[in-house]
Amino acid sequence: MNRLLIVEADGGSRGNPGPAGYGAVVRDAATGQVLAERSGFIGRATNNVAEYRGLIAGIEAAVSLDPFAELDIRLDSKLLVCQMDGSWQVKSPELKPLVAAARAAIGGSQARFTWVPREHNMAADALANRAMDEHVGYQPDFEGLGGLPGSPKALEVAQAVRQSQMAPSGAQRYAGLPDEPTTVILVRHGITALTVQEAFAGSNLPGHDLSAEGGRQAAGAALELRTMLDVPWAYLRPPVALLASPTARTMQTAAELALVLGLEVTPTASWTEQDFGEWDGLTKDQASQRWPGEVERWFSDQDYSPPGGESRTAVGRRVRAALRQLTADHRGQCVAVVSHTMAIRAAIGAAIGAPPSVWFGFRINPASISIVRLWDQAHSELICLNRTVARL
């Protein structure tokens, strides 16, 4: 007989939508012992989104403890219970990807969903409130903008600021370009075991998974992006699409963004990392021992290809083509892309006309956010480079 685990999950939003957090507890059904706790702050979100984030975190914690266990999932939200057991349809576009993520987390496990009164779910509720309490400074001070968020004056001022920041610079205006560029948010994946070793990790599929720290970095990047989208002075429109390199580490990072953006992830091969050929998985020292002088040449020669691999120049051609496709498909819109160091460097290089020979001058940290805006191949700009946070 399979082990039975109890999952208690909850989430809350102070403002609905407003600053939101989630909590989850996993117990042994036989003893009541707490086996795992999960909590997190997710920025500005609704109660329902926060509740689903708690549900997903609780399921993932339980499955990681015992992938063969039966799950008794207890929630004080009738909406979640009825949507997850299939008795209610999921009509909200915001919730559909979260429902899919929760069902994917269950995988092959047997799970039943039970509604419980709020007083029977206090442990998860306390974790969610603690997550929100730890980020009480999240809400920006809107007094200088004429009032609280949502007030007519604040909205009027925010819209004026947004329009100013979204408009082309003087160079673009005098070039006679339209006012609506394509905005591309570039997010690097979180760390893996190879990142820590400073090893070559290229386009091979599926590649390494995120480490535990890499997963926390990915969640932090998602939260930071959500914050950037929420504050009234932001120059960003909400993304209409979320693309990701098909490697495991980028798809796992993109999954965190999908939860806060309410978008499905589209694997896109043109955003893979440079192909390092026979160097893939080797540290730089190991590659240097087997191919003396070749790693140094790779750093200095943009046209050099590692054995069986791809040159930086070739990466640039591939990424420029991907950017052209984005500008054609999403004129005047915003798109988020989860990718890799060299591919992101190539996108920034394309935006500011920097050749591959200088790309190593762009620092792209794990789980960092960079942003470019594109009118056409001759007119583009770098908005943000390597915005990196450590919140979780």
At 189-244, the pLDDT tens digits run: 999 999 888 899 998 889 899 998 898 889 889 888 877 776 544 557 789 999 99
| Residue numbers annotated as active site | 189, 273
Closest CA to 214 of 390, 22, 363: 390
pLDDT computed for residue 166 by the predictor:
58
| Structure confidence at residue 11 (pLDDT) | 95
Q: Taking all residues of the chain, what is their mean pLDDT, rounded to a whole number?
A: 86
Query: Dihedral of the CA atoms 61, 62, 68, 71 (nearest 10)?
Result: -150
What six digits make up the tokens of 253? 């990072």
Give yes or no for residue 104 having a pLDDT over 80: yes
Helix ranges restricted to H, 281-356: 284-290, 294-300, 312-329, 341-352
Average pLDDT over residues 236-253: 92
User: CB of 383 within 8 A of CB of 373?
Assistant: yes
**Three-state DSSP state, 69:** coil
Q: Give the per-residue pLDDT at 155.
A: 53
pLDDT of residue 19: 85
Cα 177 to Cα 164, 174, 185, 374, distances in angstroms: 16, 8, 21, 11
Instruction: Identify the band that residue 149 occupies on the pLDDT scale cut at 50, 70 and 90.
Output: very low
User: Could you report the per-residue pLDDT of 10-22, keeping only the tens digit for each?
Assistant: 999 888 888 889 9
Q: pLDDT digit string (tens) for 61-94?
A: 999 999 999 999 999 999 999 999 999 998 887 7
Residue of 164 and 34 predicted with greater confidence? 34
Diameter over CA atoms, the chain: 73
At 383, is the pLDDT very low, low, confident or very high (cuts 50, 70, 90)?
confident
Query: Residue 171: exposed, middle, or buried by beta-carbon count in 10 A (0-12, 13-18, 19+)?
Result: exposed
pLDDT tops 60 at residue 281: yes
Plot region of 388 (φ>0 → left; ψ -120 to 50 → alpha; else → beta): beta
* H or E element in which residue 68 lies: none
Look-up of token digits 């091979």: 204
Per-residue pLDDT at 325: 92
DSSP tag of 311: -
Q: Are strands 379-387 and 369-376 parallel, antiparallel or unpaired?
A: antiparallel
pLDDT bracket for residue 156 (50, 70, 90): low
Q: What are phi and psi of 39, to 5 degrees?
A: -155, 160
Compute the distance between CA of residue 226 and CA of residue 50 in angstroms, rounded to an integer. 13
Higher pLDDT residue, 250 or 216?
250
Position 376 scores a pLDDT of: 67
Q: Is the peptide bond before 246 cis (omega within 30 degrees of 0)?
A: no
- 45 vs 124, which has greater pLDDT? 124
Convert the pLDDT of each residue in 285-308 to its tens digit.
999 999 999 999 999 999 999 999
> From CA 20, how far away is CA 260, in angstroms rounded?
11
- The span from the CA of 70 to the CA of 112, in Å, is 8
327-378 pLDDT, tens digit per residue, is 989 988 999 999 999 999 999 999 988 999 999 999 999 999 999 988 865 6
Q: Are 203 and 273 in contact (CB under 8 A)?
A: yes
Domains in the chain, start-ordered, CATH in brackets? 4-133 (3.30.420.10), 163-387 (3.40.50.1240)
Does 171 score more than 70 pLDDT? no
Peptide bond into 178 cis (omega under 30): no
Give the percent of the chain with pLDDT over 90: 58
pLDDT at residue 145, rounded to an integer: 41
Structure tokens at 34: 């707490």
